[in-house]
Amino acid sequence: MKPLLRRLALPLLLAAATPALAHNPMCECDETTAGEITCKGGFSDGSGAAGVTLDVIGYDEQVLVGGKLGDDSKLTFKRPDGEFYVLFDAGPGHVVEVDHADIGAP
Amino acid sequence: MSRVQTVPHSPARQWWLKWRFHLNILLILVPLGFMPKYFADMRLFRGEDGLGQHVQADIPVGRWSVSLAEMRDEPPLADGPAGYFKTFNAALCATCDEGVKAIYLRVGKPRSLRAAGSILFGSQYRMATSLPIPQRTRPDALLWITIEGWDGNMYQASVPLADASPATAAWLAKQGDKR
């Protein structure tokens, strides 16, 4: 057992010293079925975003759909008419905007 | 009486046995090679080399002024599926700490305070943020600085991205086919 531990000590130490990961917010939206958009939020360190606010806002700044991401970090909503953007809002200064022009069928 | 027989080693093995101890020296020499970069980084992170590269000094925003600089003179760095990010540093003017609640940075004019961009954090003399740079950004885009005041108002100013970070503008020009 001891030699094994000794042999593993260095790799284990190196593995423990992972670099500090940034956790930038991210959000992807796709039109999954006709007329329905599914947005998935998360952070670049791989963590999910369950419960984070996701609003669909018209170009006139009216909130068209206000919601929170489910346990799977996803939210599905009906595609609004007109011009809008999706705002993934993980707090002030931690937002991602997805413009309606960038949401297409996969 | 037992007799110990010495087996003669090969010359290579003899050389190894004689000199292997001196590998220790490498343990000292290898870190020495990385030291100049280490100290340069430390000076950069502590702000001893100033705010950063291509400093845009004293940009008037409302009744305040903000200095903006890119952390390093380099194109944006990829952060996996989140896209490309560029680190900017900023400082409020030395005597104007009154009334500023938050400062945001964004490529392009913000639609609203909620979507004002990424927030600058740190002391007022040296704040930092990781700014997302969408790949389809036009190289002539503007960087918008938004100050949220404690009075509830928004104060804004902009600088050309190409001035604040020529490397980013050059990188964006190369991304042209992805737009």
B101 and B26 fall within a common domain: no
Interface contact A97-B102, CB threshold 8 A? no
Question: Amino acid identity, residue A24?
Answer: N
Residue B145: inside a domain: yes
Residue B6: inside a domain: no
B21 and B85 fall within a common domain: no
Instruction: Quote the number of domains for chain A.
Output: 1
Reported confidence tier of residue B27, pLDDT bands at 50, 70, 90: confident
Name the one residue in this structure whose structure tokens are 């094994």: A4
Left if phi > 0, otherwise alpha if psi is -120 to 50, otherwise beta: which for B58? left
How high is the ipTM of this complex? 0.73
Once rounded to an integer, what is the mean pLDDT over residues B130-152? 91
Residue A72: inside a domain: yes
Nearest-Å Rg of the Cα atoms of chain A is 20
Where residue A36 sits, what CATH number does that domain have?
Answer: 2.60.40
Q: For chain A, list residues with pLDDT below 50.
A: 19
Reported confidence tier of residue B73, pLDDT bands at 50, 70, 90: very high
CA distances from A100 to A25, A76, B14, B148 (A): 19, 14, 73, 27
Residue B41: inside a domain: yes
Are A31 and A104 contacting, i.e. CB atoms less than 8 angstroms apart? Answer: yes
Left if phi > 0, otherwise alpha if psi is -120 to 50, otherwise beta: which for B170? alpha
B32 and B67 fall within a common domain: no
Contact residues, chain A, for B81 at CB < 8 Å: 26, 28, 44
Residue A41: inside a domain: yes
Instruction: Please tell me the distance from the alpha carbon of residue A79 to that of residue B84, in angstroms, as a whole number.
Output: 28
Interface contact B85-A24, CB threshold 8 A? yes
Q: Does B156 score more than 70 pLDDT?
A: yes
A65-74, B6-15, B116-125, B161-170: least confidently modelled range: B6-15
Its domain, for residue A63, covers: 21-102
B38 and B15 fall within a common domain: yes
Its domain, for residue B82, covers: 53-178
Once rounded to an integer, what is the mean pLDDT over residues B39-59? 90
B78 and B20 fall within a common domain: no
Contact residues, chain B, for A43 at CB < 8 Å: 82
Give the per-residue pLDDT at B148.
93
Are B100 and B88 contacting, i.e. CB atoms less than 8 angstroms apart? Answer: no
List of residues 6+ apart from B131 with CB closer than 8 A: B85, B86, B87, B88, B105, B106, B107, B117, B118, B143
B95 and B29 fall within a common domain: no
Please give the span between the terminal C-alpha atoms of chain A, in angstroms, as a whole number.
52
| β-bridge partners, A68 | A53
Give the per-residue pLDDT at A16.
62
pTM across the whole model: 0.80
List the 43-62 stretch of B: residues with Cβ below 8 A of A. none
Q: Which two tokens stand for residue A90?
A: 């993980």
Residue A14: inside a domain: no
Give the per-residue pLDDT at A7.
74
Once rounded to an integer, what is the mean pLDDT over residues B115-134? 91
Instruction: Quote the number of domains for chain B.
Output: 2
Instruction: Please tell me the distance from the alpha carbon of residue B44 to that of residue B40, in angstroms, as a whole number.
Output: 6
